[in-house]
């Protein structure tokens, strides 16, 4: 489109006014040059009471620095590692929300969006750009914003699905080429590899997978080379899926909706992942209101959702967002997919975690730590997996599930947990058999 006029980042952010609500495209695609320009306005004393929203972002988040108190107020939908310290200190904040509903915050008007700041691929011959690795709630922000500023970046992959939007949706254009923020993952250790094997044993041929990010999902994926016709419908995926796509293990052939396509709403991984989705018709980057809708998720058979936890109590309550009163991450899409998988024909909702912390403390507790948030309730949990095994809690009574959960606790802590269960439930607990 020859009528596009590019301006500098500093010129673009002049549209921001004090009191505005701003949305940043998320994860790997945070618009760095706009963030830096916005902070320069903050340094100059030109703004106050500006609220900033996004999913978690990779890279630096300077707007959460204590020096910007009263200027920028971070209210994100997930607590990433780059803002965790300042959220816990009170200089930044978090909006508890199901990931599926983050887009609804904007579309319903519950949360205003004055300025959307995003990154896009170059305009194609049809007059479209792609949001690349960050559709999530970003599309909803663009639809509802007073002004949308787009950084045209040649490194943003040209992804299909809802990621493709007409250039006419953009109001202000900035040009800056910087590589997308890569994510680095450690190799699974012995415990994580054992959890991966226990989870992989539950995955059937023809399953549609959702799993988060990190060593445990990669350990699971590494065990699936002998499987057939797996599909992907998830909120995000990373490098671990690529070898399975190359082998033909992941082909989406058994899916009932989006057959043959890998469906996701955001990505984080190496450059190889970003290159993989570029111009790839096998990948559909979709609005988070679609990817994380439990009733959409449930339309595919054998949906197998694998999510992690920080702590689980002996009744099956899952804390995944906080360490006591200190917020560590967020609700994310865990309950969206736990519920969606449980509604899927032949589906399996799995919560997987190491049985102990790095310091050897049990992550399975008689009761959750005071202040801990329940993300997946005891009513929602089905499968629970540690390095010591996998147990199905669905349909089990409180005493039965306590016995099952304790059976996959670390051996060093089982006696203590059994004693706590006996004290809680009374002498009948002694007669419970697995």
Q: Is residue 369 packed enough to be buried (19+ CB in 10 Å), middle (13-18) or exposed (0-12)?
A: middle
Question: Token digits for 167?
Answer: 């250039």
The vertex-405 CA angle with 365 and 370, nearest 5°, equals 20
Describe the strand order of the beta sheet including 50-53 as a list of residue ranges: 93-94, 72-76, 50-53, 21-24, 115-120, 147-152, 172-175
Annotated active-site residue 235? The verdict is yes
Ramachandran area for residue 370 (φ above 0: left; ψ -120 to 50: alpha; else beta): beta
CA–CA distance, 280 with 263 (Å, rounded to integer): 12
CA–CA distance, 130 with 149 (Å, rounded to integer): 14
Catalytic residue among 58, 101, 192, 235: 235
Residues identified as active-site: 235
């Amino acid at each position: 489109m020859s009528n596009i006029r590019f301006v500098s980042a500093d010129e673009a952010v002049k549209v921001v006014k004090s009191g505005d609500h701003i949305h940043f495209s998320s994860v790997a695609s945070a618009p760095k040059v706009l963030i830096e320009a916005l902070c320069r306005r903050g340094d100059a004393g030109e703004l106050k009471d500006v609220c900033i929203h996004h999913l978690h972002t990779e890279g630096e988040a300077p707007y959460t620095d204590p020096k910007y108190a009263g200027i920028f107020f971070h209210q994100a939908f997930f607590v990433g590692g780059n803002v965790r310290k300042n959220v816990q200190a009170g200089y930044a904040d978090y909006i508890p929300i199901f990931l599926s509903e983050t887009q609804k915050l904007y579309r319903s008007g519950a949360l205003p969006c004055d300025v959307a700041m995003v990154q896009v691929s170059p305009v194609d011959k049809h007059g479209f750009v792609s949001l690349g690795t960050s559709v999530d709630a970003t599309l909803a922000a663009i639809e509802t914003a007073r002004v949308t500023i787009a950084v045209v970046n040649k490194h943003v992959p040209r992804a299909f699905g809802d990621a493709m939007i007409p250039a006419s949706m953009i109001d202000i254009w900035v040009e800056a080429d910087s590589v997308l923020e890569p994510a680095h993952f450690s190799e699974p250790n012995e415990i994580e590899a054992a959890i991966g094997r226990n989870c992989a044993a539950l995955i059937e041929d023809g399953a549609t997978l959702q799993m988060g990010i990190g060593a445990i999902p990669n350990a699971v994926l590494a065990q699936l080379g002998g499987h057939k016709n797996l599909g992907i419908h998830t909120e995000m995926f990373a490098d671990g899926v690529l070898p399975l796509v190359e082998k033909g293990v992941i082909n989406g052939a058994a899916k009932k909706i989006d057959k043959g396509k890998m469906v996701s709403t955001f990505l984080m991984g190496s450059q190889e992942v970003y290159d993989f989705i570029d111009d790839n018709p096998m990948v559909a980057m979709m609005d988070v209101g679609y990817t994380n809708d439990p009733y959409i998720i449930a339309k595919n058979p054998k949906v197998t959702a694998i999510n992690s936890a920080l702590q689980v109590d002996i009744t099956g309550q899952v804390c995944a967002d906080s360490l006591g009163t200190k917020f560590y991450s967020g609700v994310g899409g865990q309950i969206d997919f736990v519920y969606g998988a449980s509604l899927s024909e032949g589906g399996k909702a799995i919560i997987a975690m190491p049985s102990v912390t790095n310091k050897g403390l049990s992550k399975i507790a008689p009761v959750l730590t005071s202040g801990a948030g329940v993300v997946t309730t005891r009513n929602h949990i089905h499968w629970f997996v540690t390095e010591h095994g996998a147990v199905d809690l669905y349909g089990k009574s409180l005493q039965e599930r306590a016995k099952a959960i304790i059976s996959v606790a670390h051996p060093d802590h089982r006696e203590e947990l059994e004693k706590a269960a006996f004290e809680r439930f009374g002498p009948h607990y002694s007669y419970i058999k697995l």
